[in-house]
């Protein structure tokens, strides 16, 4: 249990230093869940995170623009110079 308490304290400090990093919140919840399992009680959890905003898809190019663009060709693969050729 001491490891989870120490980890939780470190994660809380990290979250204070970098509040935009969502990984701190994830790992804090995991620590709280483990602590809750070990002590047999419930540790108050934070509110669930809001769902991420949907990204706007860029519009498809018009047929005139597509006709003007050249087809994409794959780059030549580099020659293998490994030991087991």
CB 11 within 8 A of CB 33: no
Count CB neighbours of 11 within 10 A. 20
Give the domain ranges of the chain: 1-40
d(CA 57, CA 16) in angstroms, rounded, equals 34
Q: Please list the ranges in the chain whose pLDDT falls under 50.
A: 43
Q: What is the pTM of this model?
A: 0.44
Of 48, 9, 53, which is closest to residue 1 (Cα–Cα)?
9
pLDDT on residue 10: 93
Residue showing tokens 């597509």: 66
How does pLDDT run across 42-54, given as a tens digit for each residue? 545 555 566 666 6
């Amino acid at each position: 249990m001491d490891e989870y308490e120490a980890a939780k304290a470190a994660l809380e400090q990290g979250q204070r230093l970098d509040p935009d990093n969502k990984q701190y919140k994830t790992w804090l919840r995991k620590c709280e869940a483990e602590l809750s399992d070990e002590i047999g009680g419930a540790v108050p959890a934070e509110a669930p995170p809001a769902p991420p905003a949907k990204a706007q898809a860029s519009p498809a190019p018009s047929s005139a623009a597509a006709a003007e663009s050249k087809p994409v060709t794959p780059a030549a693969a580099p020659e293998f110079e490994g030991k087991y050729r």
